[in-house]
Amino acid sequence: MVAEASDAGRLFLITGPSGVGKGTLVSALLQRHPQIWLSVSATTRAPRSGEQDGQHYFFLDRGAFEVKVAEGGLLEWAEFAGNCYGTPREPVEQQLTAGRPVLLEIELEGARQVRSSFPSGFQIFIKPPSFEELERRIRGRGTDSEDAISRRLERARVELEAESEFDAALVNDDLDRALAELEQLMALA
């Protein structure tokens, strides 16, 4: 299934194991298609070096995150590798109403929640060329502790089994090739 030709006001979602290259692909996609609005998630994870509050994430402590959940302020949320992550609801609804294509880059449990609240959304799963390459990329990124790497790889095995739930899947082998395939799936090419 390919996304409709008009992507105005459509909800796109990208999932895939940590380290597969989602962030890299999404930032290349946004450079080429600035009309797409990328949701900024809330998280209890500590900022990595270079990450800005409000730009990469809204960094919250557990208490503040729980308040957001209790207020119904998150469209979806999930715990991942020991931290909470969630999508602020209001900006997504505003952008969709304004007719902009909206992109979420989130993990599997969140994708499942969005599937029930936005069944017309288009969900894409990003795969690594191999599990060994996934591990190389997570380690090569150099941002995670050994403990975080283990948790992420453990979770990756579960996520990789969920590929068939998605509307489409693509392998992030060569970045330019994968980007072109993503553009095609989103009917942007």
Q: Which is nearer to ligand ADP, 66 or 174 (CB)?
A: 174
Q: What residues have CB less than 8 Å from 145, skipping those under 6 apart?
A: none
Return d(Cα 42, Cα 119) in angstroms, integer: 23
The contact pattern for ligand ADP, residues 7-36, with x = CB under 6 A and - = no contact, is ---------x-xxxxxxx------------
- Minimum CB–partner distance for residue 124 and ligand 5GP (Å): 12
19, 96 contact by CB (below 8 A): no
Q: How close are the terminal C-alpha atoms of the chain, in Å?
A: 15
CB of 63 to ligand ADP, least distance (A): 27
Q: How far is CA 80 from the centre of its chain?
A: 12
Among the candidate windows 3-11, 84-92, 130-138, 168-176, which touches ligand 5GP by CB under 6 A? 84-92
**What residue 87 binds from ligand ADP, ligand 5GP, none (CB within 5 to 8 A, per partner kind)?**
ligand 5GP
Q: Which of residues 100-119 bind ligand 5GP (CB under 6 A)?
A: 105-107, 109-110
| Distance from C-alpha of 36 to C-alpha of 100, rounded to nearest angstrom | 7
